[in-house]
Amino acid sequence: MSVIPLSFIDLGVAAGLVILLAILTSIIGLGLGRRLLISSLRTTVQLLLIGLVLKQLFASPNLWLIIGLGMVMTLLAGREVLVRQKIRLAGFYGYGIGVVSMCVSSFTLTFFSLVVIIGVDPWYAPQYAIPLLGMLLGNTMTGIALAVDRMTADFYAQRNMIEQRLYLGETWQVASGDIRRNAMRTGMIPIINSMAAAGIISLPGTMTGQILGGSPPLEAVKYQILILFLIATGTGFGVVSALWLTNRQLFDTRHRLCLEKLKK
């Protein structure tokens, strides 16, 4: 069974529903209409552009172009991590934390899954590499942004208590233990909830897309399980890396809290 093609009129009807929602939120005073319309416009432009890029990559796969696209995606994801934080680390380090953490987790897991688990030949086949990397980056980005935002906000709010514990002789690891655990829990909640609800409450995107494309349901389920496991692992490693890097900046070698490195 082939996929039923969608016309621009079909997409226009769906866009009309979003516009209707934006108008409704403005009427009742929620103030989300403008942000909703801007996000919808960004989604449309970004997906159309990536569709054109993937069309060229699928026609003539090139390892360096695929790596370049992956790096651009990672750098943009790093910016999204930074701007979603209300209280952030000052300077370039605040941006670098997200980029480094996502590179450590997403690129490593993507390469491992392509070579070891799926066994794609060549391993950088764009129809596998780019969607897999994109899903890992997107979910890892969300987890890191939530975790780091929770951590920096808690450090700022509980700064007096942390300093008192440090004065009493506790190390920075002990004094910040509760904050780190809460931040880790916050970063992992989205993927844990997704895994808990998959198949019972919701049908995840990868599985739905493959079924709509005509793949056997059981094969689609196996790919979805693989994706969820990879996302959970990637998010976990990414969040741990980001929290560790953030902690190292907020304390000096003498276990003193360095709040001057944070800015609102």
Please answer whether residues 101 and 241 qualify as being in contact, where contact means their C-beta atoms are separated by less than 8 angstroms: yes
Give the separation between CA 239 and CA 81, rounded to whole angstroms. 12
Sign of CA dihedral 42, 48, 51, 52: negative
Q: What integer pLDDT is reported at residue 3 of this predicted model?
A: 67
Residue 228 CB contacts under 8 Å (≥ 6 apart), including other chains = 191, 194, 195, 198, 204
177, amino acid identity: G
**Cα–Cα–Cα angle for 168, 169, 170, rounded to 5 degrees:** 105
Please give the model's pTM, rounded to 2 decimal places: 0.83
- How many C-beta neighbours within 10 Å does residue 72 have? 11
Q: What integer pLDDT is reported at residue 2 of this predicted model?
A: 60
What does the mean pLDDT of the chain come to? 86
Sign of CA dihedral 78, 80, 85, 88: positive
Q: What integer pLDDT is reported at residue 1 of this predicted model?
A: 53
Q: Return the axis-axis angle of helices 217-250 and 126-157, rounded to nearest 10°.
A: 40
Instruction: State the DSSP string of 22-68.
Output: HHHHHHTT---HHHHHHHHHHHHHHHHHHHHHHHHHHHS--HHHHHH
Which positions of the chain have pLDDT values less than 70? 1-3, 202-203, 212
Give the separation between CA 142 and CA 257, rounded to whole angstroms. 27
Q: What integer pLDDT is reported at residue 51 of this predicted model?
A: 87
Q: What integer pLDDT is reported at residue 115 of this predicted model?
A: 92
Radius of gyration in angstroms for the set of CA atoms belonging to the chain, rounded to a whole number = 21
Q: Where are the domains of the chain?
A: 1-60, 62-263
Joined together, the tokens standing for residue 105 give 């987790």
Q: What is the pLDDT of residues 189-214, one digit of tens each?
A: 999 988 888 877 766 777 777 776 77
Task: Give which of 224, 216, 254 is closest to 1, Cα–Cα.
Answer: 216
Q: What is the pLDDT of residues 254-263, one digit of tens each?
A: 777 777 777 7
Consecutive H or E run containing 262: strand 262-263
Give the separation between CA 239 and CA 191, rounded to whole angstroms. 12
* Per-residue b or e along 174-190, where b marks 16 or more CB atoms closer than 10 Å to that residue's CB: ebbeebbeebbebbbee
Q: What integer pLDDT is reported at residue 4 of this predicted model?
A: 75
Joined together, the tokens standing for residue 8 give 């621009």
